[in-house]
Amino acid sequence: MPLHDRIIPYLERAGLYHLARLNSHWFWLDEPLVSAFVERWRPETHTFHMPFGECTVTLQDVAFQLGLPIDGEAVSGCLGEFETYIEGGRPAWEWFQDLFGELPPPNKVKQMTVHFTWFHERFSVLPPDANEETVRIYARAYIMMLLSTQLFGDKSANRVHIRWLPFVANLDEMGRYSWGSAALAWLYRCMCRVANRNVTNLAGPLQLLQSWIFWRFPSLRPSGFDYFSFPLASRWSAYLPPNDGKEQRVISYRLALDRMSARDIIWEPYSALDVLAVVHPEILTDEHSRIWRAVTSLIYFAVIEWHQVDRVVPQLGGVQHIPEDALNIDWLHAKDGRGGDRWFPHYYRDWHLHWGSRLDAGNRDT
């Protein structure tokens, strides 16, 4: 969807403007490359097990690659019964009509989701004489689409869930949420599903995963993409992977990963001066960087994952120590919010408390 100038201030306050700038490009996924990495994903540690040890996508990577806020409240709530759990909350579709001025036609609605095409057809072109309330409606629609496509896409790949209504109802408060930790939770969950079950379609913020691979493994990155700006994932926006010989390319990538040593990974790609020169200052504050080192829960509604960063200390400039034992959270991997709505901050209260004390959890000297 077009990024209209008048909705940019709302995106900035929400902490989503950098992500929205990425949305102006179409990212093509190198499926064989990503598949070869996901084969090395271990759900019990949330790390890739490589010949030289472990590595993973961390909150630091989310901040640099996507420019998302890391600190803030967990992205959670309920999935549809807003009138039951939210003070003053109206039934979902009444609330939808209040926020967007109309309801989508029945053929665009499926349970608690709306087809992408309705948002795109209805809210792509902002009228030049739009008043501020109309601008806010278009900002809500853009954010609903942005979250559903860039960060929290599922296997359907064509629907917007109305779980976002309480967030877009108050656009000025959206900046208090940790969109980065929620996105990482969803990426972890999607990779865990592929590793644990007979799931073949990988969903989630895959541009984050692919950019992480390219930044950290020079031998695997495409040539000719030397220029970069912020967010760092924009470096590969014009990359177009080959579309043929996928099976052979998977085999080739597997072999390349099997032969890797510690010399083949850049442990600290963000410490380079040319990178620091383009990164926005808020990414580099001490308060922000402390959260990168937190061994804590990652929360996205019913999705609870674990930020096992103490297993990849060299990625944060330290020497690897013996990490804590991995948590057994297999039972959490079976939870997806189905089977009756509930207020997840209460249902998963202990995990929310973990996130609430994130600055004290697992922050070791590195």
| Residue 6 confidence (pLDDT) above 60 | yes
Domain parsing of the chain, residue ranges: 5-284
The pLDDT score that the predictor gives to residue 90 is: 85
Distances (CA, A) of 248 to 38, 85, 92, 194, 242: 17, 51, 48, 21, 12
Q: What sections of 173-272 are H helices per DSSP?
A: 179-196, 206-216, 246-258
Omega of the bond leading into 222 within 30 degrees of 0 (cis): no
Report d(CA 108, CA 270) in Å as an integer: 43
Strands (E), the chain: 41-42, 47-50, 53-55, 109-110, 113-115, 159-161, 297-300, 303-306
User: Confidence band (pLDDT; 50, 70, 90) for 198?
Assistant: low
Backbone φ and ψ of 75, nearest 5°: -85, 105
Residue 337 near residue 301 (C-beta atoms within 8 A): yes
DSSP state at residue 251? H
Query: Residue 361: pLDDT above 70?
Result: no
Closest CA to 272 of 46, 64, 43, 38: 64
35-57 mean pLDDT:
95
Distance (Å, rounded) from C-alpha 300 to C-alpha 202?
A: 17
pTM reported for the whole predicted model? 0.95
Name the pLDDT band for 24 (thresholds 50, 70, 90).
confident
What mean pLDDT is reported for the chain? 91
- The answer for residues whose C-beta is within 8 angstroms of residue 276's C-beta and 6 or more apart is 270, 284
